[in-house]
Structure 1
């Protein structure tokens, strides 16, 4: 919630006061948590070490509960021929050219054998990928979403999850952005219109209830 603006909160509550139910078949979607956002030498560095710690806890809990885990990353052919206008708009996306170490998952947040990795070229984890089909094949009805960045690929993926019929539950502490203002504003808007924004503690409790 945006702090210190009761009028705004009241205004939104008057129009947007619905809630989504947590389903019977959840999965964890970790969006683009790669070295480009963790390496201070990267143009995309975002200082999201706290969010990394939250993702480590979230991932361990999902695995312990037997919840399917999906990682996404971004991979472009050199020069961005498959990146379209997105690649043109954000020159820093060159960090994700195939073979770049900035596109790797951090050592403490690695997919296990058998876990799904979806490589994408645009903001949403659904756009131009087979994620929708993969989730339906697994019988998933709910996505707990974490990752980077809150105002970019997390937002786009949560919106598309809703539009594809998967209830999105965005985990606040497990998302990160370059600045707290877009992070907080995006979470406020997601909660109002497109998703349930929950705490890490709530997410861990939900995983525990799935055991």
Structure 2
């Protein structure tokens, strides 16, 4: 992986976007489906979930916005279209299935924005970009599940909507570490800055609003 990262840099990739003045934490689809044995989406993401909870707590202390996303489909509807045909396991996100529920931690606090989506990107077909603009956000610290799927799609769309995406590597997870690492490498080369949890926590500390 390090050789590939060097090759990207030599050929003009991997520029730095950096932190803006107003970050928000974007929590992508952290729900029971990824942590429940027997779920078709079960993945070894416990460490990523803990890191996400730590980052969410710091953001709240700093006064930075926290936005959660979840996938939701009405049973029998055409919502999700070809995405649901391609990934039948997405049926776990039909309304009423507890696998689509948020965890005890992290979970949305009263007043925090929850974006319900039907596709991979948190921006596609939702009001997320408008909401972030109203909040004055210029940077999104992207966390959640999974790195190769909804995290990648959301980070790419954040860039395309004019927000600086900083993907927090420790706070994202996938079905296999090879998928996780490969997608982080490619995101860092083309669409986002990939940072670790300590860097994300420090950035939120610097962004703390004066009392």
TM-score normalised by L of structure 1: 0.96
Counterpart of 1:30 (choices 27, 32, 56) is: 27
Partner of 1:165: 162
> Does 1:176 pair with 2:173?
yes
**Higher mean displacement: 77-86 or 142-151:** 77-86
**Higher mean displacement: 152-161 or 102-111:** 102-111
What's the secondary structure of 2:58's corresponding residue?
Answer: helix
Unmatched runs of 5 consecutive residues or more in structure 1: none
- C-alpha distance in structure 2 between counterparts of 1:199 and 1:80, whole Å: 39
What's the secondary structure of 1:85's corresponding residue?
Answer: helix
Size of the aligned set, in residue pairs, is 207
Q: CA deviation at 1:80?
A: 4.7
Partner of 1:62: 59
Superposed, 1:62-211 pairs within 5 Å as 62-211=59-208
- C-alpha distance in structure 2 between counterparts of 1:89 and 1:79, whole Å: 17
Q: CA deviation at 1:95?
A: 0.3
Q: CA deviation at 1:99?
A: 1.1
- C-alpha distance in structure 2 between counterparts of 1:121 and 1:202, whole Å: 31
TM-score normalised by L of structure 2: 0.96
**Does the aligned pair in 2 maintain the 1:80–1:97 contact within 8 Å?**
no
Unmatched runs of 5 consecutive residues or more in structure 2: none
Q: CA deviation at 1:10?
A: 2.3
- C-alpha distance in structure 2 between counterparts of 1:151 and 1:9, whole Å: 18
**Does the aligned pair in 1 maintain the 2:5–2:189 contact within 8 Å?**
no
**Higher mean displacement: 111-120 or 75-84:** 75-84
> Does 1:14 pair with 2:1?
no
**Does the aligned pair in 2 maintain the 1:75–1:119 contact within 8 Å?**
yes
